[in-house]
Amino acid sequence: MSKIMAQILGHGDPSAVANIGSVAKVVPSADAHPLDPAREWTKQVAIVVAASLFVALCARVTVPLPFTPVPLTLQNFGVLAVGLLLGSRRGFAALSLYLMEGVCGLPVFSMGAGIGHILGLTGGFLIAYPLVAFVAGWIYEQRSEKSARLFAWAALSAVVAEVVLFASGLAWLAVLTHSISLAIKYGLYWFVFAEVIKVLMAAGLAARWQGRTSR
């Protein structure tokens, strides 16, 4: 290729030089199409909205328990998964949007919609969701990009986020029932095993996704 170019330039053929110039104009440079901020913003908004709807879908998987007013639901898994997959800021935004959807009347909560659910027995869990997603995402973001223990990081992030979730949920239950023991009975005992499963599921999903995207 270099010999051909040298021959063309050496002969001084003006038409050949013109052809070279035209070809150079056709080939786009790496900076020819800078990232469109409006398009990127729209993409991020769409991701946040989709994440809020994913949590709403998880909330539909609900099993009422006869010995506690707090239902067994897949909702917490959705919150952890969103925080780990989207990161702290987008996770916080998605769950804040989720709460606004429920307060505005959209049936996204496990037992319906409306401000009454925020003020009800499960309100402490609901109101903590944006912070839970933020904590899970923020801790997971602190991992090394080349870490071989993605699952361990994700599980640790989810466990800490679960502590935040149940601290808020049980505190609100204690306020409403005027009893710490009742709050623990209603909001913790029956859910420990299920929450362990949710943590493992969310951590496995996040680790697998990160492993694929980092290749």
The residue among 186, 194, 189, 139 whose CA lies nearest residue 161 is 139
Non-local (6+) Cβ contacts of 111 within 8 A are 62, 71, 117, 122
Cα separation, 42 vs 102, in Å, equals 23
The pLDDT of residue 30 is above 50: no
Q: Residue 112 — pLDDT band, cuts 50, 70, 90?
A: confident
Non-local (6+) Cβ contacts of 165 within 8 A are 76, 79, 125, 128, 129, 132
Burial class (CB in 10 A: 0-12, 13-18, 19+), 87: middle
Non-local (6+) Cβ contacts of 211 within 8 A are 150
CATH of domain 37-213: 1.10.1760.20
For residue range 36-53, list pLDDT tens digits in order.
888 999 999 999 999 999
For residue range 144-156, list pLDDT tens digits in order.
666 668 899 999 9
In percent, how much of the chain has pLDDT > 90?
Answer: 62
For residue range 38-95, list pLDDT tens digits in order.
899 999 999 999 999 999 999 999 998 888 888 899 999 999 999 999 999 999 999 9
Cα separation, 171 vs 184, in Å, equals 9
Q: What is the pTM of this model?
A: 0.80
Q: Residue 111 — pLDDT band, cuts 50, 70, 90?
A: confident
Going from N- to C-terminal start, the domains of the chain cover: 37-213
The whole-number pLDDT of residue 79 equals 98
The pLDDT of residue 9 is above 50: no
Cα separation, 191 vs 25, in Å, equals 64
More confident residue, 181 or 15: 181
